[in-house]
């Protein structure tokens, strides 16, 4: 009788333990807007694979690229409620909730893409991540690098005057809108997937884009001029819903922090090499390109700085960090 009770007790204990383990296992969802072939999407896939391995198969991460879970604003809302677990969001999207992050889009903050990882690792940039749980409802795990921004136009562009009154597709965030409005441009919001058709039909006159997409989508085929301007950097932030984060074990948090950071940081070296390849591929097409620097946009830059220096005092510290990196 005692033996029977002992066996029954052990069976119940093991069953309870197994149920508890299953309850803690989870298939996380990670969303992003970039296509399946994009550097950021590949980084997300690598994170997914290694995180599953690190959890001994207990957890999985399913990656949803190309805006399958909605645009970035919609995904951020899902993250805030806990309906979405993780995302790779552009820092531009996060400026809607954390305005100071707009300083990351200061024109000509870096001279080239090689300087981006060091600047994102600087104290001013890292300080911006600490306020994300309170202001955006997400935990900022790490920054990644994107390509520097260029402009591509269906019309000929010889001077900044040729941009005035034109409709240029941009990511609809305040720091970018400020820059383009200072140029006399009408900024237009449009999903990445609709850019090629909109330019083909001249619904828009051009777009703000990086070389990866310009070359990958062959936007040069429907454009007159590509301005190789490198006018802004384009960080991505790996984020986890703050609601979801609060339910994770310390070991899961550490695995996410370590593995996600690893692959996001690696995007810096990838873009450092790839930007040169994409530029050469563009030049090899023989299409019209024009290399320009800050002097091309100087009046617009001055106006941008006047506004953002007052609005975000941390901009000065970030500029100082940039100068140190450039030396």
Successive 10-residue mean pLDDT values, the chain, 327 residues: 47 41 74 95 98 97 96 97 98 95 98 97 98 98 97 98 98 95 96 93 97 96 98 98 97 98 98 96 98 98 97 96 94
Q: Which domain holds residue 70?
A: 25-99+110-147+235-278
CA nearest neighbour of 315 among 122, 29, 168, 152: 122
Whether pTM > 0.85 for this model: the answer is yes
198 and 61 both lie in a single domain: no
45 and 81 both lie in a single domain: yes
For Cα atoms 290, 321, 41, give the angle at the middle one, nearest 5 degrees: 60
Residue-level pLDDT at 327: 87
Backbone angles phi, psi at 63, to 5 degrees: -95, 130
172 and 217 both lie in a single domain: yes
Residue 80: inside a domain: yes
Domain with 158 in it: what CATH number? 3.40.190.170
Contact 29, 85 (CB under 8 A): yes
Rounded CA separation 149/138 (Å): 26
Intra-chain end-to-end CA distance of the chain, in Å: 81
Residue 37: inside a domain: yes
Helix (H, G, I), strand (E, B), or coil: what is residue 27?
A: strand
Residue 116: inside a domain: yes
124 and 162 both lie in a single domain: no
77 and 216 both lie in a single domain: no
307 and 251 both lie in a single domain: no
115 and 240 both lie in a single domain: yes
Residue 241: inside a domain: yes
């Amino acid at each position: 009788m005692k033996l029977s009770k002992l066996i029954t007790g052990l069976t119940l204990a093991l069953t309870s333990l197994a149920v508890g383990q299953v309850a803690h296992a989870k298939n996380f969802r990670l969303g992003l807007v970039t296509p399946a072939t994009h550097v950021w999407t590949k980084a997300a896939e690598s994170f997914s694979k290694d995180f599953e391995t690190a959890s001994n198969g207990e957890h999985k991460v399913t990656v949803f690229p190309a805006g399958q879970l909605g645009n970035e604003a919609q995904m951020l809302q899902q993250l805030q409620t806990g309906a979405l677990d993780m995302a790779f969001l552009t820092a531009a999207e996060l400026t809607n909730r954390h305005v100071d992050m707009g300083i990351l889009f200061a024109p000509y903050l870096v001279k080239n893409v090689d300087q981006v990882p060091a600047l994102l690792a600087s104290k001013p940039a890292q300080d911006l991540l600490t306020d994300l749980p309170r202001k955006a409802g997400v935990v900022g795990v790490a920054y990644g690098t994107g390509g520097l921004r260029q402009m591509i136009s269906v019309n000929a562009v010889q001077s900044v005057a040729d941009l005035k009154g034109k409709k240029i597709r941009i990511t609809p965030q305040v720091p970018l809108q400020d820059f383009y409005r200072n140029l006399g441009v009408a900024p237009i919001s449009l999903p990445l997937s609709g850019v090629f058709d909109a330019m083909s039909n001249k619904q828009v006159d051009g777009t703000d884009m990086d070389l990866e997409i310009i070359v990958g989508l062959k936007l040069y085929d429907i454009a007159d001029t590509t301005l190789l301007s490198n006018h802004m950097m384009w960080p991505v932030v790996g984020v986890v819903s703050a609601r979801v984060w609060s339910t994770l074990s310390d070991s899961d948090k550490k695995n996410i922090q370590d593995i996600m950071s690893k692959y996001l940081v690696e995007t810096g070296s990838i873009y450092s090499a790839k930007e040169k390849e994409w530029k050469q591929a563009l030049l090899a097409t023989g299409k019209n390109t024009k290399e320009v620097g800050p002097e091309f946009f100087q009046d617009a830059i001055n106006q941008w700085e006047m506004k953002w220096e007052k609005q975000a005092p941390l901009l000065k510290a970030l500029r100082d960090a940039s100068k140190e990196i450039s030396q």
